[in-house]
Amino acid sequence: MLFATSEPITLNKIREVTDSFYPLKPSVLLGLMDELQSDYMELRRGFRLEEIAGGYLLRSCEEFTPYIQLLYREKRGEKLSQASSEVLAIIAYRQPITRAEIESIRGVDSSYVVGSLLERGLIEPSGKLEAPGRPTLYSITQEFLSHFGLKDIKELPELKSLFPNP
Protein backbone atom coordinates (compact mmCIF):
# COMPACT_ATOMS: atom_id res chain seq x y z
CA MET A 1 0.00 0.00 0.00
CA LEU A 2 2.74 2.42 0.97
CA PHE A 3 4.55 1.97 -2.34
CA ALA A 4 1.34 2.34 -4.33
CA THR A 5 0.35 5.84 -3.24
CA SER A 6 1.70 9.36 -3.33
CA GLU A 7 -0.68 10.54 -0.60
CA PRO A 8 -0.40 9.83 3.13
CA ILE A 9 -2.43 6.78 4.21
CA THR A 10 -4.10 6.94 7.62
CA LEU A 11 -3.55 4.16 10.11
CA ASN A 12 -7.31 3.48 9.98
CA LYS A 13 -7.16 2.96 6.20
CA ILE A 14 -4.15 0.65 6.53
CA ARG A 15 -5.99 -1.29 9.23
CA GLU A 16 -9.12 -1.48 7.08
CA VAL A 17 -7.13 -3.11 4.26
CA THR A 18 -4.99 -5.40 6.42
CA ASP A 19 -8.01 -6.58 8.44
CA SER A 20 -9.42 -8.11 5.24
CA PHE A 21 -6.50 -10.52 5.19
CA TYR A 22 -4.99 -10.55 8.66
CA PRO A 23 -6.74 -8.73 11.53
CA LEU A 24 -4.38 -6.76 13.78
CA LYS A 25 -4.98 -4.77 16.93
CA PRO A 26 -4.33 -1.04 16.41
CA SER A 27 -1.42 -1.15 18.87
CA VAL A 28 0.19 -4.03 16.95
CA LEU A 29 -0.24 -2.22 13.64
CA LEU A 30 1.22 0.97 15.13
CA GLY A 31 4.16 -1.07 16.41
CA LEU A 32 4.71 -2.51 12.92
CA MET A 33 4.71 0.99 11.42
CA ASP A 34 7.29 2.11 14.01
CA GLU A 35 9.37 -0.97 13.23
CA LEU A 36 9.26 -0.20 9.50
CA GLN A 37 10.37 3.36 10.17
CA SER A 38 13.31 2.12 12.24
CA ASP A 39 14.28 -0.60 9.76
CA TYR A 40 14.37 1.81 6.81
CA MET A 41 16.57 4.21 8.80
CA GLU A 42 18.93 1.52 10.10
CA LEU A 43 19.31 -0.13 6.70
CA ARG A 44 20.06 3.30 5.18
CA ARG A 45 17.47 2.87 2.45
CA GLY A 46 16.98 5.57 -0.16
CA PHE A 47 13.57 6.23 1.34
CA ARG A 48 11.99 6.53 4.74
CA LEU A 49 8.54 6.13 6.21
CA GLU A 50 7.21 9.39 7.61
CA GLU A 51 4.09 10.28 9.50
CA ILE A 52 2.65 13.27 7.66
CA ALA A 53 -0.74 14.98 7.69
CA GLY A 54 -2.34 12.28 9.82
CA GLY A 55 -1.06 9.38 7.72
CA TYR A 56 2.02 7.49 6.59
CA LEU A 57 3.97 8.12 3.42
CA LEU A 58 7.18 6.77 1.90
CA ARG A 59 9.51 9.64 0.98
CA SER A 60 12.95 9.83 -0.58
CA CYS A 61 15.81 10.66 1.77
CA GLU A 62 17.07 14.23 1.61
CA GLU A 63 20.56 13.26 0.44
CA PHE A 64 19.04 12.13 -2.87
CA THR A 65 17.40 15.50 -3.56
CA PRO A 66 19.93 16.56 -6.26
CA TYR A 67 19.27 13.39 -8.26
CA ILE A 68 15.51 13.69 -7.97
CA GLN A 69 15.64 17.35 -8.99
CA LEU A 70 17.56 16.37 -12.13
CA LEU A 71 15.04 13.66 -12.87
CA TYR A 72 12.13 16.10 -12.66
CA ARG A 73 13.81 19.31 -13.80
CA GLU A 74 11.38 19.63 -16.71
CA LYS A 75 8.36 19.15 -14.46
CA ARG A 76 8.45 22.25 -12.30
CA GLY A 77 5.48 22.49 -10.01
CA GLU A 78 3.55 25.68 -9.60
CA LYS A 79 5.30 27.64 -6.87
CA LEU A 80 3.57 29.79 -4.32
CA SER A 81 3.79 33.52 -4.95
CA GLN A 82 5.04 35.86 -2.24
CA ALA A 83 1.46 36.98 -1.59
CA SER A 84 0.23 33.36 -1.36
CA SER A 85 3.03 32.49 1.05
CA GLU A 86 2.16 35.48 3.24
CA VAL A 87 -1.55 34.66 3.36
CA LEU A 88 -0.85 30.98 3.97
CA ALA A 89 1.47 31.81 6.87
CA ILE A 90 -1.09 34.17 8.39
CA ILE A 91 -3.80 31.52 8.17
CA ALA A 92 -1.54 28.76 9.53
CA TYR A 93 -0.54 30.78 12.57
CA ARG A 94 -3.83 32.60 13.25
CA GLN A 95 -6.46 30.05 12.21
CA PRO A 96 -9.37 30.22 12.13
CA ILE A 97 -9.27 33.67 10.58
CA THR A 98 -11.47 35.78 8.27
CA ARG A 99 -10.38 37.37 5.01
CA ALA A 100 -10.89 40.82 6.57
CA GLU A 101 -8.51 39.92 9.39
CA ILE A 102 -5.95 38.68 6.85
CA GLU A 103 -6.28 41.94 4.90
CA SER A 104 -5.92 43.94 8.11
CA ILE A 105 -2.60 42.20 8.81
CA ARG A 106 -1.31 42.48 5.22
CA GLY A 107 -2.75 45.92 4.48
CA VAL A 108 -3.94 44.88 0.99
CA ASP A 109 -6.89 43.10 -0.61
CA SER A 110 -6.40 39.33 -0.39
CA SER A 111 -9.52 38.06 -2.17
CA TYR A 112 -7.69 36.65 -5.18
CA VAL A 113 -4.99 35.00 -3.07
CA VAL A 114 -7.52 33.37 -0.73
CA GLY A 115 -9.42 32.08 -3.78
CA SER A 116 -6.22 30.69 -5.26
CA LEU A 117 -5.29 28.91 -2.02
CA LEU A 118 -8.81 27.46 -1.81
CA GLU A 119 -8.48 26.10 -5.38
CA ARG A 120 -5.15 24.49 -4.54
CA GLY A 121 -6.69 22.86 -1.47
CA LEU A 122 -4.20 24.41 0.96
CA ILE A 123 -6.91 26.21 2.95
CA GLU A 124 -10.60 25.58 3.53
CA PRO A 125 -13.61 27.30 5.04
CA SER A 126 -13.89 26.18 8.65
CA GLY A 127 -16.98 27.99 9.82
CA LYS A 128 -18.59 31.39 10.13
CA LEU A 129 -17.70 34.16 12.57
CA GLU A 130 -20.53 35.18 14.88
CA ALA A 131 -20.43 38.79 13.72
CA PRO A 132 -22.43 41.01 11.34
CA GLY A 133 -22.35 39.54 7.84
CA ARG A 134 -21.16 36.18 9.25
CA PRO A 135 -17.79 36.20 7.45
CA THR A 136 -16.18 32.89 6.55
CA LEU A 137 -13.36 31.59 8.74
CA TYR A 138 -10.41 29.91 7.02
CA SER A 139 -8.04 27.22 8.25
CA ILE A 140 -5.30 25.12 6.71
CA THR A 141 -6.01 21.64 5.30
CA GLN A 142 -4.45 18.19 5.41
CA GLU A 143 -3.12 19.04 1.93
CA PHE A 144 -1.21 21.96 3.50
CA LEU A 145 0.39 19.58 6.01
CA SER A 146 1.23 17.12 3.26
CA HIS A 147 2.59 19.83 0.94
CA PHE A 148 4.97 21.09 3.62
CA GLY A 149 5.80 17.65 5.05
CA LEU A 150 4.31 18.29 8.47
CA LYS A 151 2.83 15.67 10.78
CA ASP A 152 0.52 18.26 12.32
CA ILE A 153 0.24 22.00 12.92
CA LYS A 154 2.40 21.73 16.05
CA GLU A 155 5.43 21.15 13.79
CA LEU A 156 5.26 24.70 12.44
CA PRO A 157 8.28 26.69 13.64
CA GLU A 158 7.57 29.06 16.51
CA LEU A 159 7.17 32.67 15.42
CA LYS A 160 9.84 33.68 17.95
CA SER A 161 12.41 31.59 16.10
CA LEU A 162 11.42 33.16 12.76
CA PHE A 163 11.50 36.75 14.01
CA PRO A 164 13.95 37.05 16.90
CA ASN A 165 14.04 40.38 18.71
CA PRO A 166 16.85 42.68 17.48
Domain map (residue ranges) of the chain: 2-71, 82-162
Share of the chain above pLDDT 70, in %: 92
Strands (DSSP E) found in the chain = 47-52, 55-60, 97-98, 123-128, 136-140
Structure pTM? 0.59
Q: Are 92 and 144 in contact (CB under 8 A)?
A: yes
pLDDT tens readout for residues 101-126: 999 999 999 999 999 999 999 999 99
- Say yes or no to pLDDT of 151 above 90: no
How does DSSP classify residue 8?
Answer: -
Domain 82-162 is found in CATH 2.60.40.1730: no
Mean pLDDT within 52-56: 89
What would the mean pLDDT of 44-59 be, rounded to a whole number? 89
Among 97, 78, 77, 79, which Cα is nearest to 87's?
97
Secondary structure of the chain: what % helix, strand, coil (to 5)?
50, 15, 35
The strand order across the sheet containing 123-128 reads 97-98, 136-140, 123-128
Q: Which residues contact 156 (CB under 8 A, 6 or more apart)?
A: 92, 93, 150
Asked whether this chain's domains 2-71 and 82-162 adopt the same fold, the reply is yes
Q: Is CATH 1.10.10.10 the right assignment for the domain spanning 2-71?
A: yes
Confidence at residue 134, expressed as pLDDT on a 0 to 100 scale = 93
d(CA 114, CA 91): 10
Is 25:70 a contact under the CB 8 Å cutoff?
A: no
